[in-house]
Amino acid sequence: MATALANRAAVDRTLSLLKLSFSFVRSFSTASPSPSVQDPNASSSASKKPKRKKKKNLFEVAQFLPNWGLGYHMAKTHWTGVSYQITKINLYKDGRHGKAWGVVHKEGLPAADAAKKISGVHKRCWKYIPNLTNATESAPNLSKSTETVLKAEVQAS
């Protein structure tokens, strides 16, 4: 029994030395490149790439406008001189999808009398056109104010 324990102890020692030598050899064979070479690449690729701004679909643009953009002009970013004046919006429950109708405007003037369904409302390329909205809203107010002034003058005389 004593010889069996002695043999077992000798086998355990040789196995531990064998495992130690294998781990020592393995550390040299799978050595990674020096840390000074890795850090500049990792830091330069992470710091030089700016975060890209996600573009918005028509409903994501309209949600920040009063009354969900009804009466305001919107256009796709790549359109020049063409926009839609929003007349009707049907939203789905999530608030980012739905259907929209509007009147086409070319160079700021209405190109059609009737509203039509706007295609591509879910594509992420929509923008708000502030100049056209202000011009169309202020023009009717001026004509109304001049009419009221004229009526007041007629009544006064």
CATH number of the CATH domain containing 118: 2.30.30
Least confident of 31-45, 47-61, 67-81, 139-153: 139-153
Using one digit for the tens of pLDDT, what is the confidence trace for 33-62? 555 545 555 555 556 788 888 899 999 999
Total structural domains in the chain?
A: 1
CA distance 25 to 15: 15
Most confident of 3-12, 28-37, 99-108: 99-108
Q: Which of 59, 72, 67 is nearest to 120 (CA)?
A: 59
**Averaged over 91-118, what is the pLDDT?**
93
- Would you say residue 71 has pLDDT above 80? yes
- On whether residue 12 sits in a domain, the answer given is no
What does the mean pLDDT of the chain come to? 78
Once rounded to an integer, what is the mean pLDDT over residues 90-119? 94
Query: How far apart (Å, rounded) are the C-alpha atoms in residues 81 and 73?
Result: 12
Q: Which residues pair with 102 in a beta bridge?
A: 86, 116
pLDDT of amino acid 133: 53
pLDDT of residue 91 exceeding 80, the answer is yes
- Is 28 within a domain? no
Strand ranges (E), 20-81: 73-76
In terms of residue numbers, what domain contains 111?
A: 58-136
